[in-house]
Amino acid sequence: MASDSKDKTDEFIESTGAKYAYAYGTGKLFKDVGATGYPLILLVDSGGTILFQGDASKLDESLIAKAVETALTVPLYEWPDDLRKAASSLRKGDLGRALTEVEDAGETHAKIAGSLQGMIEGRLTAVRRAADAGDWLAVKTLGDALTGAIEGRPEVDVVEALLARLKEDDAKDILKAQEQIAKIFERDIKAKQFETLQKKIDRIAEDFPAESVVRRDAEHAHKRLREICGKT
């Protein structure tokens, strides 16, 4: 993310012949991640999960490698014309339909089909890992999104089985606490609320063991709260 204007960015891209996709935002993402200034690095994997946020000098190459494991090997803007319909489905988030349409287009597009299948497998692996770690908010968030994205594909059954575990008593307690912490950041936060919200986060997490994901979420919430309220 950078603060240059659209005109300056477009001029830079054209003059240098840079070959990468870029887009402009309204500032919503910047606000949602609690960013307080530029420059800012956000590393997002192919499933939409933010793996890193902060100073570029602290970004580890191994994390970048992890982020691109299941990324498209052929970017959308290089897809051939006969895959226009599949590209449209993918842009709408319908990963399963996009894969089916690419498969229907013939063997010549096997590389793209394999890449899309890899994206599905990568997101499925992320849900499994979250379940293994007891991170039930991640299971719900990633699982719900994946179920909608691959409707009609056989992998849906696996996702639904993982989502069913949210009904277990331990999972319900953890999920409730995680959602309470997340909800704190759904509204604008004023600096004067800092101490009150700190205490609220601690109350939510106090009954969970030190190794619980709730304690981890609470730690991250405190850090984000300090950044928002200028207490860094």
Whether the predicted pLDDT of 54 surpasses 80: no
Q: What end-to-end distance do the CA atoms of the chain give, in Å? A: 21
Cβ burial, residue 150 (10 Å; 0-12/13-18/19+): buried
Whether the predicted pLDDT of 1 surpasses 60: no
Helices (H), the chain: 6-16, 28-32, 61-67, 84-91, 95-104, 110-133, 136-149, 156-164, 169-183, 194-205, 213-228
pLDDT per position as a tens digit, 107-134? 999 999 999 998 999 889 989 999 999 9
Task: Give me the chain's average pLDDT, please.
Answer: 88
Sequence-ordered list of residues with C-beta below 8 angstroms from that of 156, at least 6 positions apart, any chain: 147, 150
pLDDT in the model for residue 175: 97
Q: CA 32, CA 34: separation in Å to the nearest integer? A: 5
More confident residue, 86 or 61: 86
Q: CA 151, CA 156: separation in Å to the nearest integer? A: 7
Q: CA 80, CA 78: separation in Å to the nearest integer? A: 6
pLDDT in the model for residue 64: 86
**CA-wise closest residue to 53 among 31, 33, 76, 25:** 33
For β-strands 41-44 and 50-54, DSSP reports them as antiparallel
Domain residues of the chain, as ranges?
6-67, 76-167, 170-228
User: What is the token pair recorded at 108?
Assistant: 């010549």
Question: What's the distance, CA 73 to chain centroid?
Answer: 19
pLDDT per position as a tens digit, 15-33? 888 776 677 777 777 777 7
Which is it for the CA torsion 74, 80, 86, 92, positive or negative? positive
Confirm if 47 and 99 have CB atoms less than 8 A apart.
no
Identify the H or E element spanning 54: strand 50-54
Residue pointed to by tokens 């990633």: 142
